[in-house]
Chain A
Amino acid sequence: MTLLRLIVQRLLLGVAILFVVSALIFIGTEILPGDVAQAILGQGATPELLENVRIRLGLHDPAPVRYFRWLGNLLSGNLGTSMVSGADIGQLLGERISNTVMLASATALIAVPLAILLGLLSAIKPNSMTDRAISAVSLSLISLPDFLIAIVLVMVFAVKLGWLPAIANLRPGQDFFTVARMLVLPVTVLVFTVLAHMVRMTRTAVINVLSSPATEMAILKGVPRWRLLLVHALPNALAPIANVVALNLAYLISGIVVVETLFNISGLGRLMVESVTTRDIPVVQVCAIIFCAVYVLLNLLADIVAIVSNPRLRYPK
């Protein structure tokens, strides 16, 4: 039962982390200096107007009270209303979440297997031509800003050749082909931005496994190469690879924010940027909580994959 207990332990830890994260988001957006009422009304607001808004928003309550009220509302599904447009945040999110999820999952589906494949390829023979080529390309990709890749792709495929649309104006009711065509460029950009880090880290992880005494033993036993990789090395590398993938979600998230803005995709990332620009704090909070929660949960999942795939982690030293 150790396995189950460990997993439950991790899940509880995850809940605790989410709690801390939500508190930090709240502190970051509400307790830092900067008056929310002033932010909504602008510099020219009269004192009475400011006072009214403060009372309406309950800003006079002590911070912990406001935090738990906010958290309770969030958990009960009442996400609040936008300060700028007055729209219900739940409604603002609906379609945007599905667009962002579509973008992220398409990217993950392509990038993860590709990164593992390339990482394996370069780890099998370190310092071979293939390895050097992959390393050089991924180092260059890491150095490029996300928008450079996007600009070049748009210039070539949208402006010069006219094959693909330069902006992805996703709306409900579009057929699959239209959506797919619009997503090609944004997804390609995202794959490029996350791929490089993942390849480099996968390579390191697999090389570490391949240099272990167990692998050396297998080589000496005369295990065929494919069996060595797939049966001996890969299961051992699974935990670090899962970790690599989860960690790189951070790059995917920042990539999504940039790419959605660039391609005019109506998604969560763009909503958040717009809300930060207009200082629409309630929307910023909800978006931040969603992004951070996904990040925390997927890192937790990677932890659990690591525990399941590596019995050694079940027995702490």
Chain B
Amino acid sequence: MKTAVPKVDNALPASGFKYLLSQLTLTPILCLLVLTGVLIVVLFAPLLAPHPEAAILTDESFSLPDDTMLLGSDFLGRDVLSRLLFGARVTLSVAFAIAIVAFILGCSLGFFAAVKRGWVDSVLSRSVDALISFPAIMVALIVISSLGSSITVLIVTIALIDATRVYRVARALGMDIVVQDYIEAARVRGEKMGWIIWHEMLPNALAPLAAEFGIRFTYAILFISALSFLGLGVQAPQADLGVMVKENMQGLLYETYTPLYPAVCIAIVTLSVNLLVDWFLKTTDAALPDEL
């Protein structure tokens, strides 16, 4: 478990935002457009959807697209397009919540360990090691088997799994920053630890952390969709992209594309985020600590 040679200058330059804008090429612009569209869908799904998500509009399963149902009907005769819009809203907001919780937890503990070192660091790092010695999906399945799969359980469990990775990244970045003179100076000034973490460490680790956030977000999307697909994630009456794939799998035998739509929606979002992160890392020349 080695870390890359410390690259200290991870902060965005003062004119960082302008610099990023000047480096925009076709791919990141497309990704940003897609993600803006997705954000609009997440925020305004109930206004955009032509039908309620649970309304059964026809008794025909997997009916072909027509004027009332632009993408046809699903296995129960519900409008696929409306369900896609509502499903994307659920999947993405759950994934976003997971990424946020994982980040707050992982970053604060990671920086805390980097600043405190000693036994605090040892205890935190060994606990993270213990969690990492499980394959992520096993942790999720074990917890779901005893607590069931409510949205809260899903968010907390996956966030906890994700937080271990964020912790390692934040700790590695923090370790490089803590030895800098400006931290020493802040300590000598008598600043409190919270202040140091918030005002000195966080800004200087912002670029790689932003990239890591994107990666965690896509991971959360894929993880929650996989669980929903297994029937262990978001529960059935609610539309969720993974649930939609699962429900409509039988449609494959009737040569419909219905199960493909939600899967493609997931892929479009995750691919856009990953391409954006890739571009961001290259342009800012920020580096994430090596994969573990």
Residues of chain A having any CB pair with chain B under 8 Å: 17, 20-21, 24-25, 28-30, 32-34, 139-140, 142-148, 151-152, 154-155, 158-160, 166, 200-201, 204, 208, 244, 247, 249-250, 253-254, 257-258, 261-262, 272-273, 275-277, 279, 281, 284, 288, 291-292, 295-296, 299
Contacts and interface: CB of A to CB of B under 8 A. Distances in A.
A143 B263 contact: no
Interface stretch (B33-41, B112-120, B145-153): B145-153
Contact of A276 (B141, B264, B273, B275): B141
Interface stretch (B62-70, B78-86, B127-135, B179-187): B127-135
B123 interface: no
Interface in B257-271: 257, 259-260, 263-264, 266-267, 270-271
B146 A147 contact: no
B218 interface: yes
B266 A159 contact: no
A28 B225 contact: no
Contacts of A288: 138, 141-142
Interface string B241-254: 01001000100110
Interface stretch (B97-105, B166-174, B228-236): B228-236
B226 A258 contact: yes
B232 A145 contact: no
A96 B148 CA distance: 25
Contact of B138 (A140, A143, A148, A253): A253
A257 B230 contact: yes
Given A25-B142, A275-B145, A276-B145, A143 B274 contact: yes
A244 B257 CA distance: 36
Nearest to B226: A258
Contact of A291 (B135, B232, B242, B278): B135
B288 to A, nearest CB: 11
Contact of A284 (B142, B218, B245, B278): B142
Contacts of A284: 141-142, 145
Interface string B194-206: 0000000000000
A158 B253 CA distance: 9
Contacts of B266: 145, 148
B147 A151 contact: no
B135 A250 contact: yes
Interface of B: 130, 133-139, 141-148, 218, 222, 225-226, 229-232, 242, 245, 249, 252-253, 255, 257, 259-260, 263-264, 266-267, 270-271, 273-275, 278, 290-292
Contact of A254 (B136, B245, B252, B292): B136
A79 B141 CA distance: 19
A228 B77 CA distance: 63
B135 A28 contact: no
Contacts of A154: 252
B176 to A, nearest CB: 18
Given A21-B133, A28-B142, A253-B137, A273 B230 contact: yes
B28 to A, nearest CB: 14
Contacts of B271: 140, 143-144
The 5 closest A-B pairs by CB, nearest first: A254-B137, A148-B263, A143-B270, A143-B271, A250-B135
A295 B131 CA distance: 13
Contacts of A20: 130, 133
Nearest to B1: A243
B135 A249 contact: yes
A24 B131 CA distance: 9
Contact of A281 (B139, B145, B260, B264): B145
15 contacts: A29-B145, A32-B143, A139-B278, A140-B271, A145-B222, A145-B266, A151-B245, A155-B257, A160-B255, A166-B253, A247-B292, A249-B135, A257-B141, A291-B135, A292-B138
B229 A147 contact: yes
A220 B252 CA distance: 59
